[in-house]
Structure formats: structure tokens, C-alpha cells
Structure 1
Amino acid sequence: MAAQIEHGFGVVCEIEPPTSPDLRHARHQIGVLTPVADAFLIPDNHIGRATVSSIAVANEVDAMGGRSIACVNARDRNLLGLRRDLLTAAAYGVREFLLVHGDRPTEGDRAGGLTVRTMIDEVRATADRPEFAGVAPFRVGVTGGHGRRLPAWKRAADAVFVQVGFSVAEFLRWRELNPDAPPAYAGVMVLASEAMAKRLQTTIPDIVIPDELVGRVAADRAAGVEIACEQVLALRATGAFAGVHLVPVSRYRPLAARLEELLVTG
């Protein structure tokens, strides 16, 4: 399926990054999701907790024959740290990034100095630096929020990952606001439980979860996988997006099985 992300509707699966030096769980996620994933997105110090480097895990994805997108946040690094990460990525052959601001850290403060915009400038500048001679150009993705027009500097990125949402109509409104956006991937998340759905409603006001979906998950925990798969197929049918950024959380096994079934028959 890997060619779909270039020429059709791609599925970018996010994996849970390791919080210890043991990479077995990350490798297991990659193996299970490979039949439905065109690429894997690896978060960077997910939700403010220390994790194994996203670039190192991206290298694991590549070693297993997958396509990787390493998330890099501005929160945890200064300019020298970013340059170190770019050299490391070049050494490993990691070529794609999602550049983000970063969630609030659980401990300590921001490293300071960097923004997503300055990170993009630094990544682009590698094309003219002698130490990167012979290295294929890096590709950079950015994020986009619902109901917002992308600024010009984000529209110059190679891809945009639209915030997780639960309404196809809301995603289509975003597309109407951003007809000239780079290839866009709509964020789809599995609701693993009623408690998770209510927590998202409380902590992230920009994410609107219809009460009907919360009710389905409350009645049947397995409904979260079905809801996510329905949304993937509905977004594909619109023809408005290059693909989806799919967040399985802990339900990657049933999600992979159900989505593979639907993609083959659908």
C-alpha cells in the first residue's frame, strides 16, 4: 500500500513511542499496522513525557520496511539541538518530519528559542549546507487547526496534519478555508472508552465529540474502532484529503484488523 500516500488516499498511523529503552512494543505496533499503514508517525516526547527519540524510532520503522515521519517539537530543543537532530536524521536516512510546538511539559520548562516557523527555516537551509551535500532534501509537515486559515508559511510546507476531529463536515469546512493547502491529512482518533472521550471534551476544547459517539462508546467499548474506521472511509469518499492521520491509541490490533477488512472490501 505504500504507493497510495503519493498517488491516492494514504493512511498515516501514529504509534505510541517507547518510554523505556525497550523497543519491542513499538516494533509490534509497526508489524501489526503495516498491512493498513502507508507511513508511520512517531511522536516526540509525547504529552510532555520523555520517550525514546522519534528519529531513532523512525529508523526502526525504516529498518522494518516502512515509511517514517518523525515528529520534532520546538519545546524541547534549542537551535543546536535541532541541528544535531537533523544530522542524526541524515545519518539514519530519515527524511520526513512533522514539526510541532509541543505539549506543555510535565516537568521543567521549555528549552526556549525555537518556533515551528524557525524550525522550518532551519530544515530548508540544510539544502545549502556542505555537511548535507548528497543528502536528499528533507520533507516537512505542519499542523492545522479546525476553522482556521493556514498562514502563508504553513502553506509552503510539504504536508499539513489537520487536528483530530470527529465530524467529516468540519473537516470539509477546513478544506474550504484552505483550498491552496499542501497535501492534507485529517486527524482520526480511536475513542478507547467513554472516560477517554469525556477527558478529551474537557481538556481540549477545540475537539468536539458528538454526544451520539460518546453514547456509542459508553454502550460498547469496541465501538471506538468502528467509529474511526467509518470516519476513514467517509473522508476517503470526499476526495478532499490526501489521507488520514490515524491515532489508534491502545486499540491498534482490532483497528488494523477491521480497517484491513474494510479497505479490501471497500
Structure 2
Amino acid sequence: MNSPNFDLICEIEPPTRPDLRHVRHQIGVLAPVAHSFLIPDNHIGRATVSSIAVAHEVAAMGGRSIACLNSRDRNRLGFQRDMLTAAAYGVREFLFVYGDKPTVGDRSGELTVRAMIDEARTAGESPAFAGLPPFRVGVAAGLRRLPNWKRTADFVFAQVSFSVDALLRWRESVALDVPVYAGVMVLASPTMARTLAASIPDIEIPADLVERVERDRQAGVDAACEQIERLRDSGAFDGVHLVPVARYREMALRLEGRG
């Protein structure tokens, strides 16, 4: 399934404690099927180890990474610090997002994703970054009209959807000359389905999938594999952004088994 023309970008669960063993285990398990790894930033509104530090860990294990940075938790100076840190660690690829609602406190409110893109683009003009290659930056897109400023990104991550047809309709409506990756998530439980429906208003989770997952905990893994295959066979996307949640072992085994 890991076709050279269809990338599988696997999302890693970042640690909420100063311990990278679980990260290393995820990387090791998923490495045979993953083209690269996406490292979330302060995942679901909780403080986590820096995505830049985890991206550096991925590189140390021989993998390729995309570090996610959210605008919610940063002011301009903090973002400039992150760019310097990333350059020092050799981290060159980023996904810029707004960020999940924090569980404690408020967002800083100073930065936007658009401003982060502008800062990253102009970083090469600073003497501090002289001689370094430019950063590659991507954005996340809902399944609706894409704003013009997001079209300046180097790649686009389409919102997670449990509907291949919805993803294909959106892709047909958007003309882009950069890589576009469809979002695929493993539904692990009915409780997870209710949480997603409450936190992401425009996501639709098929009732029959929820029922199947309730009867069989592997049903979500099967559905995600089928969705990846359909998206690959459609030729509409350059790959998928897979969110395996706690089912990363099962997903790795299933994807390897499907070749």
C-alpha cells in the first residue's frame, strides 16, 4: 500500500510527560508503512513535548517528519524562537494550524496561521538563516472553499473525513498544483465518535460504522484501511494523513499485510 506515488503520513501521539519512549515505539512500529510522520502541537489542547523536539527524534531514528505548530499558543517572538530552534535541529517541514481549544487558559490571540506563513517565508531574508534551505509549510483545509492565502502553501492537508465521496467531491472543486493529503482517522470506539461529533461540527460519522465498532473493536481499523485504498485508487490525492490514535499497532500490521 505504500506506493512511491502515494504517501502515507502517520500522525504520532505526542507525549504529555518528559518521556519519549512511547514516541520511539510508535515510530518503530509505523516506520515500515509510513512515508513520514506528523507531530501534533499541544495535542487536543493539552501541553505536550515540543513538536520540533519530537521531529528531531524522528530524524534521529532515520525517519522524515512534519512538525505541526499552532497559532493559538504563540506570539510573534515565540514563533521566531521556534523557527530558530527548528533550523538548529534541521527540521524543515511544518504544518501550520489554528490549534485545538485549550483545556486550561486562553489562546494568546496575537498570531494567525496566515502570519506564520508570512514569517516562515521571509525567514530566509534574515542573516540568522543565511545559507539554509527554505522551510516547507503546509496548511489544513476544511472541506469547503479554500481561501486564496492558503493556496500559497507548499502542501495541503484536507480535513479528516469518514466519507471518501465527500473528500473526492471537495478535491474536484479545488484546483491546486501542490501535494494534497486526505485526512483518515481510525474510529476506535463509540465514545470517540461522540467526542468527535461534539468537537468538530461539520464531521459526519456513518451510524453503521459506529455500530460496527461497537460490535468489533477492529472494525475501525478495517474501515480506515478500506478508505486509504479507495483514496489511493482514485488518483485524486497525493497521499493520506492517517490518524491511527491508539490503534497504530493494528494499522501497521494491517497495512503491511496488504502490501
Q: Using structure 2 for the length normalisation, give the TM-score.
A: 0.97
Q: Which amino acid aligns with 1:34?
A: A
> Which residue of the partner structure matches residue 230 of structure 1?
226
Which amino acid in 2 is paired with 1:152? N
For 1:200 and 1:110, the matched residues in 2 are separated by 21
Q: Is the 8 A contact 1:3 1:38 kept in 2?
A: no
How far apart, in 2, do the equivalents of 1:179 and 1:219 lie?
Answer: 40
Query: Could you tell me how far apart the structure 2 residues matched to 1:202 and 1:104 are?
Result: 13
* One-letter amino acid matched to 1:82: F
Cα distance between partner residues in 1 of 2:2 and 2:233: 19
**Corresponding residue for 1:93?**
90
One-letter amino acid matched to 2:75: N
Percent of counterpart pairs with the same letter? 68
Rounded Cα–Cα distance in structure 1 between residues aligned with 2:249 and 2:31: 11
Q: Which moved more, 1:209-218 or 1:36-45?
A: 209-218
> SS where residue 257 of structure 1 aligns?
helix
Q: How far apart, in 2, do the equivalents of 1:193 and 1:118 lie?
A: 37
1:107 corresponds in structure 2 to: 104
Q: 1:218 matched to which residue of 2? A: 214
Task: Find out whether 1:10 has 2:7 as its counterpart.
Answer: yes
Counterpart CA distance in 2 for 1:98 and 1:181 is 17
Paired residue type of 1:56 = A
Aligned to 1:172: 168
In structure 2, the partner of 1:72 is 69
Q: TM-score, normalized by length of structure 1?
A: 0.95
Amino acid at match of 1:248: P
Gaps of 5+ in 1: none
Q: 1:203: how far off?
A: 2.8
Which residue of structure 2 aligns with residue 60 of structure 1?
A: 57
Contact 1:18–1:51 under 8 Å retained in 2? yes
Other structure's SS at 2:245 match: coil
Say which is worse superposed, 75-84 or 196-205, in terms of deviation: 196-205
Summarize the Cα distance change of 1:257–1:163 in structure 2 as closer, same or farther, 3 Å threshold: same
Summarize the Cα distance change of 1:130–1:3 in structure 2 as closer, same or farther, 3 Å threshold. Answer: farther
**2:158–2:180 Cα contact (<8 Å) kept:** yes
Taking the aligned partners of 2:211 and 2:177, their CA distance within structure 1 comes to 34
1:208 to 195, 200, 204: 204
2-structure distance, mates of 1:78, 1:194: 37
The alignment yields a C-alpha RMSD, in angstroms, of: 1.3
Question: 1:84, CA displacement in angstroms?
Answer: 0.3
User: Residue 35 in 1 paired to residue 32 in 2?
Assistant: yes
Q: Return the offset for 1:54.
A: 0.2
Relative to structure 1, the CA distance from residue 69 to residue 248 in structure 2 (aligned partners, 3 Å threshold; closer, same or farther) is same
Q: In the aligned structure 1, how far is the partner of 2:16 from the partner of 2:91?
A: 21
Task: Identify which of 178, 191, 199 aligns with 2:187.
Answer: 191
The corresponding residue for 2:245 is 249
Change in 2 beyond 3 A, CA 1:68/1:152: same
Residue by residue over 1:32-87, the C-alpha shift from the partner in whole angstroms, topping out at 9 and shown as x without a partner, is 00011001000000111000000000000000000010000001110000000000
Counterpart CA distance in 2 for 1:196 and 1:220 is: 14
Instruction: Choose from 46, 50, 55 the match for 2:43.
Output: 46
**Worse overlay, 121-130 or 51-60:** 121-130
1:3 CA drift (Å): 8.8
Give yes or no for contact 1:156–1:182 (8 Å, CA) kept in 2.
Answer: no
SS at 1:250's partner residue?
A: helix
2:2 and 2:8 in contact (8 A); partners too: no
Counterpart CA distance in 1 for 2:105 and 2:225 is 38
For the residues of structure 2 that align with 1:125 and 1:3, how far apart are their CA atoms? Answer: 34
Residue number in structure 2 paired with 1:163:
159
Q: What is the CA distance between 1:199 and its match in structure 2?
A: 2.2
